[in-house]
Amino acid sequence: MQNNTAISQLIEAGKWVSQKGWVPATGGNFSARTSTGFVVTASGHDKGSLTQAHFLQLDHQGERLAGAVKPSAETQLHLSLYQLIPDAQCVLHTHSVAATVLSQITQEHQLDLTGYEMQKALSGFTSHLETLSIPIFDNDQDIDRLSLLVSDHHLHTPIEHGVLIRGHGLYAVGRNIDEVRRHLEALEFLFSCELERLKIIGIQAGVTK
């Protein structure tokens, strides 16, 4: 994909994600793979009012090709996801209340979801009886170290739809902008359902199911 097309799609996605309330306080970052590497949002800036000037163009190794703005530290994690997952064309990283709280109260290193029809909105799922397992990584300000953990995990358990960073948020992955938006929306819906469910059945019952 051309850089300009990719950036246009991410600007549009940013308005939608911001309106959902999933990128408060200039949080989050978005990227898309392109023919020359990938484009990614710069550090800071409200993600609901992005322009071409808020993007960096990086090559396949993450070196800057264009864009005068400051890169986000989390650019490294976007790069890793593109290197690990050949099919990944877009990554939307968001900070929702549900993703933040659910990843923080879950002691395990993954969030297992089952019994929801909405799982079928995630590519590859055909039944609510399957288990959707989203890995949860402990947050780390050392993004290189965090990226290594994600890479190591991917070797034995391939990442398909996204990962949660504890107390931080979601990285949703897709093979095109429509798929990543659908994955993001479906995962956020499932996180909201789980959070509501735990409020009623309690966290002990929730963990053991």
Of 66, 109, 199, 207, which lies in the binding site for a copy of itself, with binding defined by CB under 8 A?
A: 199
Is 156 labelled a binding residue?
Answer: no
Under 8 Å CB-to-CB from 18, ≥6 apart: which residues? 46, 47, 48, 49
118 binds a copy of itself, rule: CB under 8 A = yes
Reading the block at residue 118, the tokens are 């909405």
Nearer to a copy of itself, 8 or 167 (CB): 167
Binding letters toward a copy of itself, positions 165-184, x by CB under 8 A? xxxxx------------xx-
Which listed range, 3-11, 62-70, 83-91, 97-105, lies at the site for a copy of itself (CB under 8 A)? 97-105
DSSP H or E run through 110: strand 110-114
Of 69, 71, 110, 116, which lies in the binding site for a copy of itself, with binding defined by CB under 8 A?
A: 116
Reading the block at residue 11, the tokens are 């600007």
Which listed range, 59-67, 84-92, 151-159, 162-170, lies at the site for a copy of itself (CB under 8 A)? 162-170
Are 65 and 59 contacting, i.e. CB atoms less than 8 angstroms apart?
Answer: yes
Q: What are the DSSP calls for 5-68, one per residue?
A: HHHHHHHHHHHHHHHHT-SGGG--EEEEEETTEEEEEBSSS-TTS--GGGEEEE-TTS-EEE--
d(CA 147, CA 74): 9
Of 95, 108, 124, 175, which lies in the binding site for a copy of itself, with binding defined by CB under 8 A?
A: 95
Site for a copy of itself in 44-73 (CB under 8 A): none
Reading the block at residue 34, the tokens are 């392109």
Of 8, 36, 110, 139, which lies in the binding site for a copy of itself, with binding defined by CB under 8 A?
A: 139
Is 93 labelled a binding residue?
Answer: yes
Nearer to a copy of itself, 153 or 189 (CB): 189
DSSP H or E run through 201: helix 177-201
Which residues are annotated binding-site positions? 93, 95
Q: Which stretches of the chain bind a copy of itself, using CB under 8 A?
A: 24-27, 95, 97-98, 100-101, 104-105, 115-118, 121, 126-129, 139, 141, 165-169, 182-183, 185-186, 188-189, 192-193, 195-203
